[in-house]
Amino acid sequence: MATEIRVPTLGESVTEATIGKWFKKVGDSVAADETLLELETDKVTIEVPAPAAGTLSEITAAEGDTVGVGALLGQIAAAGAGTAAPKAAAAPSGAKQAESAADYGGRREATSTASASGAGSAATTAEAAEKTAAVAGDAGPVERRDTPPAPSAAKMLADNNLSADQVQGSGKRGQVMKGDVIDALSRGAASEPAETPRVAKGSGNEEAREERVKMTRLRQTIAKRLKDAQNVAAMLTTFNEVDMKPVMDLRSKYKDLFEKKHGVKLGFMGFFTKAVTHALKEIPAVNAEIDGTDIVYKNYAHIGVAVGTDKGLVVPVVRDADQMTIAEIEKEIGRLGIAARDGKLGMSDMQGGTFTISNGGVYGSLMSTPILNAPQSGILGMHKIQERPVVAGGQVVIRPMMYLALSYDHRIVDGKEAVTFLVRVKESLEDPERLVLDL
């Protein structure tokens, strides 16, 4: 008896997702709770585990398909049961494709047929024959496809001096996936750089040198939210600079003892988060939001920490940061950072932020104007620490300086409040004892 694989509950207000990648193929054996595929939602990537052990007998939704909560993704047959042929993915307009696969003495052969209005049968037959030989283990070249390799596969191809032509793709419309590259390398695929056809300059054949990749749901959501913030909020940015020497000296003095006691490294984010929560208490408008004709003041500080991942920018939230110590903040940021890197963030990790901190300095940014994370009214931009000459006590000295940027919604935050907020953050960082004494 087959066990159905269905789309799980995706979280509050999320009703659909896009299939990012299948990790198993029809005919593969699976263990209970083994990850079968990834679902990409507007906010996070969710792994779907196998509901039972057995053999993946059917895939009903292919990579790139949009599916709703509860939709059927595939089926798992009990161990020893036969497997059904995979259903063909929807083909481009004007063409139909069908694929079937069977194992003969351990050698898998696949044939594909396609028909297009008017012509192409001979070319299609040749392509099918070549694909059959490649799947069966023929060392001959694989014809290049229109669909570019997946980003992770493209990186692995480049690292190993391979071209997509040398790898048989298992993804939708023959897309080369990371697992396909791994399989090719394990078979000893040539590591010599593939010869690429030269295109004459000014030939007008730019399209042949372009790559078209569909935006992930996360990237689409990021684009929409950022543009909505620009369209709705009256955004303005104010700048200041902070002398990081006091914080750096304090960190250098206590970092080893701090890590030994708390089991986490002492970074800069703990100081910045604590400085922000202190300033928010004094300037509550920066921690508020507009709801229709009302202003909602938040008597708590849920601080979003922007994290760049290979799939886009995510903003996990440190909840009640105003009630936490620097050590507790560092531990929570560490946990959220690992979860973001591994694609393990839950919906609860991403919701409810009241203010955001974005650290472009880790990428070398010297100054920027961050965009609000709506419906929040403020976001603090951190930047690169750079030694610069400054005047201190009537003398020119060299100090490790950082530019700070506060973008805010001018509909709710006045200029005086924004400048005061940024000055309070600066004061706390240049005199970190204030953070301990709550001054």
pLDDT tens-digit profile of 261-316? 999 999 999 999 999 999 999 999 999 999 989 999 999 999 999 887 777 778 89
Q: Where are the beta strands (DSSP E) in 3-149?
A: 3-6, 16-22, 29-30, 35-40, 45-49, 54-59, 66-68, 72-77, 95-104, 107-116
Instruction: Tell me the CA distances in angstroms from 94 to 104, 131, 181, one per residue in order.
Output: 33, 22, 31
Query: Taking 60 as the threshold, does the pLDDT of residue 104 lie above it?
Result: no
Sorted by sequence, the CB contacts under 8 Å of residue 262 that are 6+ apart come out as 327, 330, 331
Residue of 33, 228, 410, 431 marked catalytic? 410
| Domains held by the chain: number | 2
Separation CA 85–CA 259 (nearest Å): 55
Given a contact cutoff of 8 angstroms between Cβ atoms, the answer to whether 19 and 89 are in contact is: no
Which residue(s) pair with 428 in the sheet? none
| Domain interval for residue 225 | 217-437
Task: Determine the Cα–Cα distance for residues 242 and 93; give it in Å rounded to an integer.
Answer: 58
Residues 426 and 432: their CA atoms lie apart, in Å, by 10
- Most confident of the following: 23-27, 222-226, 304-308, 409-413: 409-413
Q: Are residues 399 and 260 part of one domain?
A: yes
Choosing from 249, 256, 342, 414, which is the catalytic residue?
A: 414
What is the number of residues in the chain? Answer: 439
Q: Among 67, 89, 111, where does a domain finish?
A: 89
CATH of the domain at 16: 2.40.50.100
Torsion angles phi and psi, residue 113, rounded to 5? -125, 150
Yes or no: say if 404 and 241 are a contact pair by the CB < 8 Å rule: yes
Query: To the nearest whole number, what is the mean pLDDT of the chain?
Result: 79
pLDDT value, residue 67: 86
Lowest mean pLDDT among 49-58, 76-85, 185-194: 185-194
Both structure tokens of 238:
């104010």
Among 36, 55, 89, the domain boundary falls at 89
Do 221 and 85 lie in a common domain? no
- Closest C-alpha among 298, 313, 357, 311 to residue 333: 357
Q: Is 414 among the residues known to form the active site?
A: yes
Tell me, yes or no, whether 139 lies in a domain. Answer: no
Question: What stretches of 301-417 adopt beta strand conformation (E)?
Answer: 303-305, 307-309, 312-314, 317-318, 355-359, 378-382, 386-392, 395-409
What CATH number is attached to the domain comprising 363?
Answer: 3.30.559.10
Predicted confidence (pLDDT) at residue 343 exceeds the cutoff of 80: no
90 pLDDT more than 90: no
| 198 domain-assigned | no
